[in-house]
Amino acid sequence: MKYKGHVKENLKLGHNFYCSRICLSRHHNKQVFLTCQNPNCKKLFRKQRKEISPHNYCSRSCAAILNNKKYPKRSLLKRFCVECNKEFKGRYSKYCSPRCGYRNRKTHGFKYTQAQAISLIQEYYHKNNRVPAKREIVELTGRVPNMFGSWNTAIESAGLTPNRSHDNRMYKRLNGKAADGHKCDSVSEILIDNWLHKNKIKHLKNVPYPNTNHIADWAINNDRIFIEYFGLANDSPRYDRCITEKKLLCKEGRIKLIEIYPKDLYPKNLLNLRLSKLKIS
């Protein structure tokens, strides 16, 4: 049943008549029924006419099952690594792993072998009487982790003890001692403290800022000069805010602040330039 006005309007506009929305959608649906071409499936499914192809499947899994049987994948060839002679499966690579690839200096243009890298580390240790930091030997930076797996592994291969193990990172590091017995939080702080001790500059370690909870790394000249090592500058917003607060406190308290950053220590030690005025005074 339909209102007479609706019937006249449909006749005037040439519209069709449907008893329900279900019949309306069925009439507008142009999909056709197809049978899945997988012989083990043969499921009926619908598909738009423009989507019909020479091979039709009800799902991707049915297509994959049939195509894998028709076109089996090429089996990987057994090869032997050029560096360690280990057997592996591959198509184009000459090495069983990236580590073996980096070991071959001719292919990757690295002028040091593992033995030469170890000798460089040992030479630095005997010259400076301490284990080198990763940034101090520029020739090995970036390459050693790929040759040995990590910098600490390279240090251990040279028969030395790493400055910091994988279980003792920045937030859980081990304290070290400088030449004068001061406890330091890192190798970088030991370098600065040893420089002050070597140049006979009297200094105090971990001195509090006036009326705050902030701590200065070193204090000189009756707390009128503070030396700070900002090793994590630009790494953390919280750390950068702490640097700004310390600068303001020094300005308000008329304390001279000497700022030292990693670029002043690595790859070249520039403490003689940064702290030259202290030697004169």
Categorize the per-residue pLDDT at 104 as very low, low, confident or very high, splitting at 50, 70 and 90: low
- Res 73 pLDDT > 50: yes
Count CA atoms within 13 Å of residue 228 on its CB side: 22
What predicted TM-score, i.e. pTM, was given to this entire model? Answer: 0.45
- Res 264 pLDDT > 60: yes
Categorize the per-residue pLDDT at 103 as very low, low, confident or very high, splitting at 50, 70 and 90: low
Q: For a pLDDT cut of 70, what percent of the chain falls above it?
A: 89
Are the C-beta atoms of residues 253 and 236 closer than 8 Å to each other? no
Categorize the per-residue pLDDT at 166 as very low, low, confident or very high, splitting at 50, 70 and 90: very low
In sequence order, the 6+-apart residues with CB closer than 8 A to the CB of 161 are 131, 155
Q: Which two tokens stand for residue 33?
A: 């029924």
The span from the CA of 88 to the CA of 80, in Å, is 6
Under CATH, what is the fold of the domain 175-280?
Answer: Endonuclease; Chain A (3.40.960)
Per-residue exposure over 7-22, b if at least 16 CB sit within 10 Å of its own CB, e if not: eeeeeeeeeeeeeeee
> For 21-62, how does the pLDDT look when each residue is reduced to its tens digit (9 = 90+)?
899 888 888 888 899 999 989 899 988 888 888 889 999 999
pLDDT value for 219: 92
